[in-house]
Structure 1
Amino acid sequence: MAQGRGGLRGARIGAGPLGEPERGDLAPRVVASFWCGNGHHSQPSFAVEAVVPDVWDCPKCGLPAGPDRENTPAVESNAPYMTHMGYVRQRRSQEEGEVLLNEALAKLRGTI
């Protein structure tokens, strides 16, 4: 039953040890700089033994970001989202679709 107290009984936030002493030391890290086409600058850190990627997604706008501020990576053109009907219309003409629809309706009605 609620007594009007906080949800954490017997524990105070920040009372215990947190971070490196409890979990051990962090791996050695290197900070890399990336710039996107909108001029956003991000600095993710990587483990020293990890390979730093050539392209990184900008956390602010989602554009590809590269290590060279003056020559940012080009945006890949993505095809717009298409529904199932969009793909069907891409493969078949209106007349072909009507023929298929009439065949399917005839099967359902039992006339074929």
Structure 2
Amino acid sequence: MAGGNAIRGSRVGAGPMGEAERGETAARQRISFWCANQHETRPSFAADAAIPDTWDCPSCGYPAGRDRENTPAPPKIEPYKTHLAYVRERRNEKDGEAILAEALAKLRSAGS
């Protein structure tokens, strides 16, 4: 016995099968974009849609442009900075020595 499940193999919300029941799809166009690594990406756009100047390359993540010879420059990746590196950007060595001396004096007075 099959268990009486008449809609077996279908999912909730599934519509009718086939193009005829769903209607016509919009006219599409495929546009080529190239990144700095010469990866070609061809996303599909509606025929009347505005085409963007750049597109993210799905292979490497670099920005891709429509001109194969003049691709957008890859983004400059900043290295990870430690907290100390950020502090050194904001303070010079003289200020750092003064702050250190103040902190040490506070610790010494709290310990006595």
In the superposition, the TM-score normalised over structure 2's length comes to: 0.64
Unaligned runs of 5+ in 2: 1-6
Spell out, residue by residue over 1:15-51, the C-alpha distance to the aligned partner (whole angstroms, 9 max, x if none). Answer: x645766765443322110111212111011223322
Flag the 1:107–1:18 CA change in 2: closer, same or farther, 3 A. Answer: farther
SS of equivalent residue, structure 1 residue 72? coil
Q: Which residue of 2 aligns with 1:6?
A: none
- 1:12 pairs with one of 9, 16, 25: 9
Counterpart of 1:99, as a letter, is A
**1:1-112 equivalent positions in 2, closer than 5 A:** 11-12=8-9, 17=16, 25-104=24-103, 106-107=105-106, 110=110
Aligned partner letter, 2:50 = V
Whole-angstrom distance in 2 between the partners of 1:106 and 1:95: 17
Q: Quick one: distance in 2 between partners of 1:90 and 1:106?
A: 25
Inter-CA distance 27–35: structure 2 relative to 1 (3 Å threshold)? same
Structure 1: gaps spanning 5 or more residues: 1-9
Q: With structure 1 as the length reference, what TM-score do the two structures score?
A: 0.64
Percent same amino acid among aligned pairs?
A: 54
Larger deviation: 38-47 or 75-84? 75-84
Letter in 1 for 2:39: H
The alignment's C-alpha RMSD in Å is 3.2
Amino acid at match of 2:61: G
